[in-house]
Structure 1
Amino acid sequence: MEGEPTSELVRAQLRRLRLNAELSQEEFGKLVHFSGSQVSAVELGQRPLDRFFLKRADEVLKTGGLLTSLLKMAERAGQPSWFRPWLEAERDAQQLRCYHPTLVPGLLQTENYARTVIRADGMLSDGEVEKRLAVRMDRQSILVQPQPPQLVAVLEEYVLRRADESFRGLMIQQIAHLIECAEQTHISVHVIPAEISIHVGLAGPFTLARGGDGGWVGHLENQLGGATIDNDEEVATLLTRWESIRSEGLPHRQSVELMKEVMMSWS
């Protein structure tokens, strides 16, 4: 989209702010705990933009978090065109309803869990994994803003129990995070017990977002990416399926107790 920040703009702003502060690359590097050559490499695009570096730069240059915010915006702008409409809908949502049959929903994933899920795609480089991870973690910021959306998430008990020995520590951390999230007034997590073997949700994951105008938008995930759904008839179908899926989940208190039970079994 025209006017959206890019990584080049972030670099240009960094250089402008450093020069306005009358700091050489060496002087600035000492303040942010980088060498002068590393600062030069960042400004010239020879070194990837680093969140820790930009956070320190914001502190040293007293920007009020400008550089970190620009990086987040640039990462969003770098997302595929099919994903941008959903990012906007999710960011502006007053209510969110999400269901996933095989994974913890992205908005409730820990950083370690999310990195493991993204890294499962062997076609991605380490840099691309970290880039996608940063965007996913940034998306979660909507849940801690002053007026967060009401989020209702439904997941399968199998999702909590599916882990080998090397995955157990990660799952304990992830389930503890789900329980912590479920204790917040604007987040509700419901677990569909394993004995419910067949229901309409198993056809695939989806999320629904209700905007300030009261209208709903849906998002479907698939192996090649996803699609934003704004057709009234299709959205109505997703809303109907959501009600069916939600009815299969355990009530709030029982869901939390089940999550605690699974976490204890892993430990």
Structure 2
Amino acid sequence: MANEALRVAMAQAGETVESLAEKVDVHPKSAARWLAAGRIPHPRTRVAVAEVLRRDAADLWPEPFRRRDLPWFRPWAELEQDATSIRSYQPLLVPGLLQTEGYARAVLGTGGLVAPAEVDQIVTSRIERQSVLAADHPPQLIAVIDEVVLRRPVGDGSVMARQLAHLAAVADWEHVQVRVIPADSPWHTGLAGPFVLGRLPDGTELAYLDNQLRGQVVTDPIDVASLGRRWESVTGEAFPQRRSIELIREVAKTWT
């Protein structure tokens, strides 16, 4: 059975196999194969095709997206698994790849805005995502957080104590860095909002942004480069790795 959803989307967008292949930078034979059942392109290419056709990638290829993540997060979750490096800046929370189950559950359960069953699904998926850090060839992860992340209570004291202990332990891994921007630093560009930069095996750089409603994968090279400059700015404000781990362990003691 052919991929009817893709065929219809191409027809409605006025795209042929050849024109679509040119826009997403693949060989026309590859694009032709996508129309056959079971032919699923690389995650980065799925995102590019969806942008060209102005459709959700999950509508065109639902199989890879049958996860417990929120629908708008699934494209990034797929790309994250292929990344060779991930650089994450979070001014308010521990990054998802480094959250404990208790911390993630407390974040999602705050305010009662997410149904308990959905909280369970998202937490399970978030913990499953973290397996990428224990893979045979894990990505290099550099996470920069503000000191307030260590000191603002999420859940109770035991949740925070376990979260900070986990953060310090993972930061000792060879392929993981956690760096903290001290609380007495002045206003810096990162405080405009969180962002994540990812690099794929072929060198392609992508980014991810989110807000109160949803997130988006950023593929435009100019936008990604702009976020890269912001990354250089925020890392310049952060303590080195060793001092950051010392601070995390110091603050962890205050939660016990």
Unaligned runs of 5+ in 1: 3-71
**Is 1:103 aligned to residue 93 of structure 2?**
yes
Q: Counterpart in 2 of 1:93?
A: 83
Of the candidates 224, 241, 246, which is equivalent to residue 235 of structure 2?
A: 246
TM-score by length of 2: 0.73
Query: CA distance change for structure 1 residues 129 and 229 in 2, over 3 Å: closer, same or farther?
Result: same
Give the 3-state SS of the residue equivalent to 1:153 in structure 2.
strand
Q: Counterpart in 2 of 1:83?
A: 73
Which residues in structure 2 correspond to 1:1-267 (within 5 Å)?
74-76=66-68, 79-80=70-71, 82-163=72-153, 167-267=156-256
Counterpart residue type for residue 169 of structure 2: E
Cα distance in 2 for partners of 1:156, 1:128 equals: 28
Give the 3-state SS of the residue equivalent to 1:120 in structure 2.
helix
Shift of 1:226: 0.6
RMSD: 2.0
After superposition, give the CA deviation of every residue in 1:192-239 in whole Å (9 maximum; x if it has no partner): 000113100001111111000111100001000111000010000001
Unaligned runs of 5+ in 2: 4-63
Shift of 1:260: 1.0
Task: Calculate percent identity across the aligned residue pairs.
Answer: 46
Give the 3-state SS of the residue equivalent to 1:83 in structure 2.
helix
After superposition, give the CA deviation of every residue in 1:24-66 in whole Å (9 maximum; x if it has no partner): xxxxxxxxxxxxxxxxxxxxxxxxxxxxxxxxxxxxxxxxxxx
Query: CA distance change for structure 1 residues 134 and 200 in 2, over 3 Å: closer, same or farther?
Result: same
Give the 3-state SS of the residue equivalent to 1:209 in structure 2.
strand
Shift of 1:121: 4.8
TM-score by length of 1: 0.70
Q: Which has the larger radius of gyration?
A: 1
Shift of 1:169: 1.1
Runs of 4+ in 1 over 4 A off after TM superposition: none
Counterpart residue type for residue 185 of structure 1: E
